[in-house]
Every structure is written in C-alpha cells, then in structure tokens.
Amino acid sequence: MKSPAPTTNRRNGSFGHRSTPEHLGYSPTSGHNSSKVSRRNPMAATVMSVIGIFTACFTPPDTNNSKSFVDSEEFKSSSVASEASRSGSHKARGSSRGVSITLHNSIQGEPAIVKFTMEEIFQVTRNFSPSFKIGQGGFGAVYKAKLLNGTVVAVKRAKKSVNEKHLGVEFQSEVQTLSRVEHLNLVKFYGYLEQEDERIIVVEYVPNGTLREHLDCNHGSILDLASRLDIAIDVAHAITYLHMYIDRPLIHRDIKSSNILITEKLRAKVTDFGFSRQAPDIDSGMTHVSTQVKGTAGYLDPEYLRTYQLTEKSDVYSFGVLLVELVTGRRPIEPKFELKERITAKWAMQRFIEGEAISVLDPKLDQTAANSLALEKILELALQCLAPQRQNRPNMKRCAEILWTIRKHYRELSASEFRSFSTSSQRSASTKE
C-alpha cells in the first residue's frame, strides 16, 4: 500500500510534517566516552542507535514553544465506563447538568454523544465573553463556563478556518474519541456542538494549567520530582488505557507537555484528541496503520516520520521525550541553546551514557540522593522509549510498571534522607544546648 504523503495539515503551534529534516552532523562515535558507555550500561547498542536517530531531527522552529495494569488498584479505580457510552439513544431534558441536552447515536453502534445547543453555549459563556476566555490553542479559543447545575467546564470553540475540511475531520476525531473514553487521567467529555461553521467541544475544566507551564514555574512554585513522577505515572496510565483497555484501542498521536493539564492536587489529565487514530487491529494481522504524519516537532517518532507507519509505539516515543522534559525542565527543542544541546532528548541521552546524568537535572531541583537515583532510572526508561525501532521500545503498560518501581524507591530513599537529616539536626541542636 502506498504511504500517504506528509502534509502541512496542522493547527497553529503544532505542526504536521512541515519542517525540513536536517542532519545535525552529530556522530554517535564522536566524543570521548563511547567505550565507557558500553561498560557502564548493558544497553550500549540501543544507546548508540538512539543517539544516532537524533541526527535525523528537525530544524528547530523559530518559536521557543516547541510545538507535540489493570492489575493495580490504582489503575482499576481510575478506569470507569462512561454512562453516556453505555446509554442508548434518548433525550434527557433538564438533566443533571441543568441544561437541556440531547443524547443520540450519531452512528449505528457508536456510543451516545451529548449535543449542546447554541443557546446553551451562549448562555453559559455569556456570548463568549472575553472575560471568560482562559486560553488559545491551535484548535481555537477556550472559555471557562459554569453549566446550570454548577459543573465548571472548559468550552473549546474551534476557530473558523479557510481549511474547513481538515478542521472538521480533527473535530469529529476528537468528539468520537472523547465519547468513547473515560479515565481519571483523561479530560472528561461533557458534549459538543456542530452547527454551520460553529464547532464546540465541552470538557471538564482542569484548574491548574498545563504541565509545560508548571515546568516553566508559571504557577509560582517549583514542581518537585515527587510530583513529576506522579504526573509521569498518570500519563502512562492514561495512554495504557487508550492502547489496551478500550474497545478498538486508540493512538493519541500528540502526547506533549502542553496537552497535559494539571489538577489542584498536581495530578495529570491528558487532553487534545484531535489527532487520535484507531490503533492497528492486531487480531486481523495488522501491524501498523499507514497515515500521514501528524504530531508536534520534537515529540515525533522518527520511524513513523520515515515510513508513515503508525503504531502505539509512536506514543511511547513521545512519552520518552516527555520523560526527558520532566527531569530536565527543558522543552524538546531549545533553539536558543548551543547546537549540541538544542535537541533536549539527544543531549540528555548523551550525557546519561557518559555517566553525567546529574548534569541534565533541572537546575530548579535539588541534587539529593533520591533525586539523583530517580533521574538515572527515568533517563534509563526514556532511553528505551526513544529506541529508533519501535519493537525495541517497551509498551506503555511496562513503562507504568517501571515508573511505579522508580517511585517506590524514590519514596523510600527520600524518607531515609529525611530521617537522617532530622537526626543530625536534633544532634546539632542538643550539642548547642
């Protein structure tokens, strides 16, 4: 089958396949330490090929904004089948949401989807009052609103584009996906509206900004490593759920820090399903889906980029980039840094294999023993996720399991560091007395 051509079909900020791939001239065997690497790390072969793959990275864009278990109790409690997705076709006037809604089956056999009316949307957003506006993304403007029953929601209003067709496709994809999923770590779907040139999605309001904003300290405090680990685990749970635990599994295709919303308790919810695609049906012998490249520069799986073959492992690759972002605090592409540090994952992996992992730790984080150990372990996992060939990457469930172990050891070491710190403080206090 002929692979579809890559397109520039991308909403603002993120991109499809627009940038020209550029050979950055990096030689994996250059540098002084490749043999030390092999001794130090049994995954040396993977390491070298991972590093090599970054040579086929993109020209950094101008902008600094580098734009995209079920066995455990934790997972079980967070995975709930949606009421809407279980219900059939019916009307619910004056429902618990407090506004009149219509549930209907748009496609035979598809889950019921809640439709809003334009009056309802105008009412709750006060005619899209600028004072209700909370964000602006590639999709359009985002408004905070309160439904009549008090539920606080985010109303995402698609911008009107000359390229109506592809926006319509992305909108439908997002609606279909959102209506099929429900998980604690995915943004909850309340409904949508599509009328003439208006396209609106109503989702759960997540009050604490995006992960990227937290890494930039835009919310006034530094996100500690314990919270970053929790967030990584939440995202791993969400993607595992999409890949493994729904009918007709899904590939998100745009995992990135600005698509991870943060709750008041600093937990994560994955959002933005405009690019999501159905995963290949393994039972019918499919190994991949052939499709045009979509996603965000810096997060894109190089194998997908080269072959247009999409699998769940493309999300795993993006997750690897996200792990590096979490521990370094840097964006995946940092155009302002010197060349060897410009592609953050490549730089961090290189430092890791040189035995200098600590040098990539976000300078906002303390260099404690617990932080250093967790950093090493997270980078080791990132290295596996970033393997150039998809079959060498772990699946998302395995990533979550590895992260649980990292978190367990992190907590134990932090607690013992805290105990020895308290004991030595007490000792010095009593010496002074």
Annotated binding-site residues read 160
User: Whole-angstrom Cα distance, residue 194 to residue 201?
Assistant: 9
Judged by beta carbon, residue 171 or residue 410, the one nearer ligand ATP is 171
CB-based contacts of 32, cutoff 8 Å, min separation 6: none
Tokens of 84: 């809407």
Report the half-sphere exposure of 324 (CA within 13 A, side-chain side).
32
User: Whole-angstrom Cα distance, residue 58 to residue 349?
Assistant: 17
User: Whole-angstrom Cα distance, residue 282 to residue 280?
Assistant: 6
Shortest Å distance, C-beta 294 to ligand ATP: 11
Shortest Å distance, C-beta 91 to ligand ATP: 26
Considering 230, 254, 315, 362, which one is annotated as catalytic? 254
Nearest to 385 by CA among 315, 329, 328, 333: 315
Residue spans of beta strands (DSSP E) within 34-169: 90-92, 101-104, 113-115, 133-136, 140-146, 152-158
- Active-site annotation holds for 254: yes
In the annotated binding site for ATP, the residues are: 160
Contact 137, 11 (CB under 8 A): yes
- Give the C-alpha distances (Å, rounded to integers) separating 299 from 244, 254, 320: 22, 8, 8
Contact 277, 253 (CB under 8 A): yes
Q: 3-class SS at 424?
A: helix
User: Within 10 A of 263 (CB to CB), how many other CB atoms are there?
Assistant: 15
User: Whole-angstrom Cα distance, residue 201 to residue 187?
Assistant: 12
Q: 3-class SS at 103?
A: strand
One-letter amino acid for residue 45 of the chain: A
User: Whole-angstrom Cα distance, residue 99 to residue 87?
Assistant: 18
Residues that bind ligand ATP (CB under 6 A): 11-14, 134-139, 142, 154, 156, 187, 203-206, 209-210, 258-259, 261, 271-272
The per-residue DSSP string of 192-258 comes to: EEEETTEEEEEEE--TT-BHHHHHTTTTSS---HHHHHHHHHHHHHHHHHHHHSSSS-EE-----GG
Judged by beta carbon, residue 204 or residue 362, the one nearer ligand ATP is 204
Active-site positions? 254
